[in-house]
């Protein structure tokens, strides 16, 4: 592939003109493809602020399919001509919003803000792409990060955005140092770095894994990586320089006790699974195949790694009340684990000897390692009393087998639960060789016959504890809208993902500006469905501000005192608008077709070295004005428009009385006229005599950008501005303007959602769990992206689909779909769901006659608090043999009243079938697990 060289810039003697936006886009796309085809360890990628990069994407029309309007300057002998780009070109690359300490040094030394999220806060670009963007735009700072491989046998690549940060403690003087290393750094390299830092010889030192300030294992100088050594972000390591006569220090913890070495690991299989994204950020812990020899090993990565001696709880202490230490944004994992380790059938199973059921041959499983890691963690939690456990071993297993959960970003507890349940099933599958079974159509056979056949076929390939207690069966009916073909299948399920009916609302505050200068900006708060679109916002806002029939609203997001984006797509989800954003709306006449949009950006006056050319970069203030003007646009038109837009901000009229009394936020001079008296005369300033006089009386300092927004040219009355879509004008606020106008009305825009701007506090809307279940079972058409191939028509059809519950498991898990996803971002619903704690009766929803009771009671909840990115997970769980509830918040465990566990944070609900005498069984309380092998 031939990539264009540096010919993308044209030197005109004074400045370098950029390529057309679509050409920039083409070059970057080719460079990205070239980099993607050459992935290998050590490749450099660069972290770029998403704010800047999204501006560049809009500029180049990336992914939007829009073509640029050809821009050609028209010349006149008597007028200065300035050629403008139709789409704003971003300024220099600006990574300042993601850098914690922007020092003038090597980019690798710059520290990023914690918990940044890829796609939301930053993007990753290859070295080729970065170098090209930097040559075009300059700026920075550069934030290079290395590409590393993840996985032992099948490689997944990820960018190590945050290096592993280790705190080195020198036992000689208790001094502390910070080391930043790649997870792929070997322990031998670690020894070299430490010895060089502390000025000691490598042969005379010992380095200990000092997690939680307690010796866990001596780190040998070898090719083992820090990832394989299971070191965590921000943990301590201990440097010792022992006396040759004091060898007793070796092999003892900080209290002098000998380290406990427990053999729990199975032999490592030569096969692992693939999974996770090709590229990710963050960090993970891993395991090395060369650590395990034979069937079991004495490894430092055992129970002692988790902060206590195995199964040594204080006499009389209650089991099941141990907390899980947060290893760095791992509350999602802790919440899911607490729910599972308090699931009665799992506790009963893993506290017994389950090793005989470990399936190391299943190619779909994790060779038994996930089941063993989970089992050992469960046993520790139930035998440690109230000791907090640090699940480092389990997290390492999870990161190696499921790279999508690696690192220290927040993840989804339900997605983790789904992976764990499926992984545990495959590791415990009693079927060693899965038979091939051809699926059959129902062909009009009785539902009972088809359901039994499907379940029998499923059990022939899937037979484990998880299937015994956690899997149910539902009936799926598809109807072709063309030929009426009916297809019925009976499929297993592990959990039910219930939608939350979209009757919940969201308050959005928008500041409305007048495009004709007839009034002061006013904030309006409207209430909308959370799953609405920008069209809904525009309609509600139009009603709130009494928009005239001849007016329209132009929605925009303001960031850093500039228009960050226009919300012109009516179908754009409201989820793309964040709570902390600043959204404005401009009241404009409908007669804007064929006119050019003019943005007037405010900045403080600064003396320029040149009177003729002034830089466009630097500090900005206030909120931009937006209006439309007829072409051709002259400097006098712009001056008149600025005068008109500033008129409501006048501090006093000639008589000395306040002209902009804050009565309803309108200019008193215009109160007698309706605010929608916005006509073509307002837009065209040709014959506006009063405005002309005003523009003559004032001498605004106005500048217009050149093609690349790097410099500004002053606007004179006879200046002709040639523009195809957008004219960007800078208004310098001199002392004169500050004396005449009150700019405070353009400052301090309210955020989209802030309590102070909410009209009134409303009672949170509530729905019942049954409402969610009924929405899940409701008949609905398939989406256009989920067409069904009809065997009757031999065509893909948008069939209707209906789900019905057929067989319910002993453990029933409900996932409340609080998170919605779109091409823009994720959104969370904080709807309060009223769910039963006792006596959840699902009898009317089960359409089969299986002779079982369908009464359930709640025993655990995974909670999610807060918004996206900065949310927090906890768990509520009831101990097996007592009727008390406990709150598990990472390390902290406390009792909680049953009346307090129902909150709007409930995310995943765990129910257990109430053990009553079954109608067709002779005993009360018989376990479904024991019945599973009898063919029922």
For residues 553 and 541, is the Cβ–Cβ distance under 8 A?
yes
| Burial per residue of 603-634, b for 16 or more beta-carbon CB atoms within 10 angstroms, e otherwise | beeeeeeeeeebebeeebebbbbbbbbbeebb
174: left (phi over 0), alpha (psi -120 to 50) or beta: left
- Residues in contact with 346: Cβ distance below 8 Å, sequence separation at least 6, in sequence order: 340, 378, 465, 469
Q: What is the DSSP letter of 745?
A: G
The helix (run of H) or strand (run of E) holding residue 69 is none
For residues 651 and 740, is the Cβ–Cβ distance under 8 A?
yes
Distances from the Cα of 7 to the Cα of 4, 85, 136, 325, 699, angstroms: 7, 20, 11, 55, 42
Distances from the Cα of 45 to the Cα of 93, 123, 216, 451, angstroms: 15, 10, 35, 52
Residue with tokens 């090395």: 288
Q: What is the DSSP letter of 211?
A: G
First to last CA, the chain: 62
Residue from 605, 853, 854, 872 carrying the catalytic annotation: 872
Distance CA 825, CA 819 (A): 10
Distance CA 103, CA 132 (A): 23
Short-list 726, 704, 738, 687, CA closest to 612: 704
Query: Any long-range contacts for 127-130 (C-beta under 8 Å, 24+ apart)?
Result: 127/35, 127/43, 127/44, 127/45, 127/46, 128/3, 128/31, 128/34, 128/35, 129/28, 129/31, 129/32, 129/35, 129/46, 130/44, 130/45, 130/46, 130/48
Kindly tell me the burial class for residue 249, based on how many C-beta atoms sit within 10 Å of its own C-beta (0-12, 13-18, 19 or more).
Answer: middle
Distance CA 371, CA 466 (A): 11
For residues 76 and 720, is the Cβ–Cβ distance under 8 A?
yes
| Burial per residue of 368-402, b for 16 or more beta-carbon CB atoms within 10 angstroms, e otherwise | bbbbbbbbbbbbbbbbbbebbbbbbbbbbbbbbbb
CB atoms within 10 A of CB 819: 17
Length of the chain: 936
Residue with tokens 């016959």: 449
What DSSP line would sit under 82-120, residue for residue?
EE--SSPPP-SEE-TTTBSS--SS-GGGPPBPTT--BTT
Distance CA 620, CA 608 (A): 15
| Tokens describing residue 695 | 């523009």
**E strands present in 426-570:** 472-479, 486-493, 496-498, 505-514, 522-529, 551-559, 562-566
Residue with tokens 């030192």: 205
Q: What is the DSSP letter of 810?
A: S
CB atoms within 10 A of CB 315: 5
Q: Phi first, then psi: give them for residue 405, nearest 5 degrees.
A: -105, 10
* Known catalytic membership, residue 245: no
For residues 516 and 829, is the Cβ–Cβ distance under 8 A?
no
Alpha helices in 117-215 (DSSP H): 127-137, 187-198
Distance CA 34, CA 11 (A): 28
* Known catalytic membership, residue 331: yes
Q: How many CA atoms lie within 13 A of 422 on its CB side?
A: 14
Residue from 195, 216, 283, 331 carrying the catalytic annotation: 331
- Residues in contact with 878: Cβ distance below 8 Å, sequence separation at least 6, in sequence order: 342, 858, 859, 860, 884, 885, 886
List residues with catalytic annotation: 331, 872
């Amino acid at each position: 592939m031939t990539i264009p060289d540096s010919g993308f810039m044209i030197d005109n003697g004074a400045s370098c003109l950029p390529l057309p936006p679509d050409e920039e886009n083409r070059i970057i796309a080719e460079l990205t493809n070239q980099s993607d085809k050459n992935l290998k360890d050590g490749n450099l990628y660069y972290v770029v602020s998403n704010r800047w990069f999204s501006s560049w994407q809009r500029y180049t029309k990336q992914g939007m399919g829009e073509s640029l309007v050809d821009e050609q300057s028209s010349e006149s002998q008597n007028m200065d001509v300035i050629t403008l780009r139709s789409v704003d070109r971003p300024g220099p690359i600006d990574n300042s919003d993601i850098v914690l300490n922007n020092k003038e040094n090597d980019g690798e030394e710059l520290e990023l803000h914690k918990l940044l999220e890829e796609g939301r806060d930053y993007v990753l670009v290859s070295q080729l792409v970065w170098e090209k963007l930097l040559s075009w735009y300059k700026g920075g700072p550069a934030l290079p990060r290395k590409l590393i491989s993840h996985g032992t046998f099948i490689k997944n690549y990820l960018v190590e955005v945050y290096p592993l940060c280790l705190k080195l403690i020198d036992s000689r003087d208790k001094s502390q140092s910070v080391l930043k290393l790649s997870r792929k750094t070997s322990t031998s390299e670690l020894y070299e770095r430490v010895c060089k830092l502390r000025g000691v010889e490598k042969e005379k030192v010992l380095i200990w894994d000092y997690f939680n300030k307690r010796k866990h294992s001596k780190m040998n100088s070898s090719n083992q990586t820090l990832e394989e050594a299971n070191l965590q972000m921000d943990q301590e390591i201990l440097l010792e320089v022992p006396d040759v006569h004091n060898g007793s220090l070796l092999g003892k913890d900080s209290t002098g006790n000998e380290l406990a070495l427990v053999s729990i690991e199975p032999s490592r299989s030569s096969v692992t699974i693939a999974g996770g994204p090709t590229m990710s950020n963050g960090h993970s812990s891993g395991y090395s195949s060369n650590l395990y020899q034979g069937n079991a090993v004495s490894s430092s990565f055992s129970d002692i790694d988790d902060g206590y001696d195995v199964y040594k709880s204080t006499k009389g202490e209650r089991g099941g009340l141990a907390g899980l230490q947060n290893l760095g944004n791992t509350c999602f994992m802790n919440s899911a684990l607490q729910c599972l380790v308090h699931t009665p059938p799992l506790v009963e199973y893993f506290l017994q000897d389950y090793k005989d059921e470990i399936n190391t041959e299943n190619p779909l499983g994790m060779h038994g390692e996930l089941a063993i890691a989970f089992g050992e963690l469960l046993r520790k939690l139930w035998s440690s009393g109230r000791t907090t456990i640090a699940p480092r071993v389990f997290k390492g297993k999870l990161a190696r087998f499921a790279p999508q959960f690696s690192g220290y970003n927040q993840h989804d507890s339900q997605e983790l639960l789904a992976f764990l349940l499926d992984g545990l099933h495959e590791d415990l599958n009693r079927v060693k060789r899965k038979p091939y079974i051809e699926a059959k159509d129902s062909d009009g056979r009785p539902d009972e016959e088809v359901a039994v056949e499907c379940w029998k076929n499923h059990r022939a390939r899937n037979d484990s504890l998880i299937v015994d207690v956690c899997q149910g069966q539902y009936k799926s009916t598809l109807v072709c809208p063309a030929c009426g073909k009916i297809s019925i299948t009976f499929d297993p399920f592990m959990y039910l993902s219930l939608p939350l009916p979209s009757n919940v609302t969201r308050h959005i505050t928008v500041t409305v500006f007048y495009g004709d200068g007839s009034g002061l900006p006013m904030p309006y708060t409207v209430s909308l469905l959370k799953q609405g679109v920008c069209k809904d916002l525009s309609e509600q806002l139009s009603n709130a501000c009494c928009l005239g029939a001849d007016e329209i609203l132009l929605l925009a997001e303001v960031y850093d005192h500039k228009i960050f984006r226009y919300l012109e797509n009516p179908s754009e989800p409201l989820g793309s608008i964040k709570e902390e954003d600043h959204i404005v709306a401009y009241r404009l006449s409908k007669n804007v077709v064929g006119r050019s949009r003019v943005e007037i950006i405010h900045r403080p006056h600064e003396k320029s070295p040149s009177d003729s050319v002034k830089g466009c970069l630097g500090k900005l203030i206030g909120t931009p004005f937006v209006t439309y003007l007829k072409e051709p646009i002259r400097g006098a038109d712009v001056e008149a428009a600025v005068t008109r837009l500033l008129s409501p901000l006048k501090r006093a009229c000639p008589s000395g009385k306040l002209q902009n009394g804050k009565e309803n936020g309108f200019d008193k001079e215009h109160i007698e006229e309706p605010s929608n008296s916005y006509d073509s005369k307002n837009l065209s300033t040709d014959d506006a005599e009063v405005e002309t006089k005003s523009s003559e009386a004032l001498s605004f300092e106005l500048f217009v950008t050149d093609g690349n927004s790097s410099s500004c040219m002053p606007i004179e009355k006879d200046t002709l501005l040639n523009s195809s879509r957008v004219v960007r004008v800078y208004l310098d606020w001199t002392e004169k303007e500050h004396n005449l106008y009150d700019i405070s009305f353009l400052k301090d825009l309210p955020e989209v959602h802030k309590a102070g701007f909410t009209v009134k506090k409303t009672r949170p809307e509530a729905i019942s769990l049954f409402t969610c279940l009924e929405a899940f079972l409701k008949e609905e058409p398939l989406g256009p992206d989920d067409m069904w191939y009809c065997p009757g028509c031999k065509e893909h059809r948008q069939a209707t689909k209906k789900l019905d519950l057929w067989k319910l498991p002993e453990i029933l898990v409900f996932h409340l779909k609080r998170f919605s996803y779109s091409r823009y971002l994720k959104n969370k619903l904080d709807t309060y769901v009223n769910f039963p704690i006792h006596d959840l009766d699902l009898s009317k929803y089960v359409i089969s006659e299986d002779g079982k009771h369908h009464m359930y009671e709640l025993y655990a909840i995974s909670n999610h608090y807060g918004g996206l990115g900065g949310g927090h997970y906890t768990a509520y769980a009831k101990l097996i043999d007592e009727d008390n509830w406990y709150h598990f918040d990472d390390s902290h465990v406390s009792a909680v009243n049953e009346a307090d566990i129902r909150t709007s944070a409930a995310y995943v609900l765990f129910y257990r079938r109430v053990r009553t005498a079954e109608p067709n069984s002779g005993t009360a309380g018989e376990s479904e697990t024991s019945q599973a092998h009898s063919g029922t």
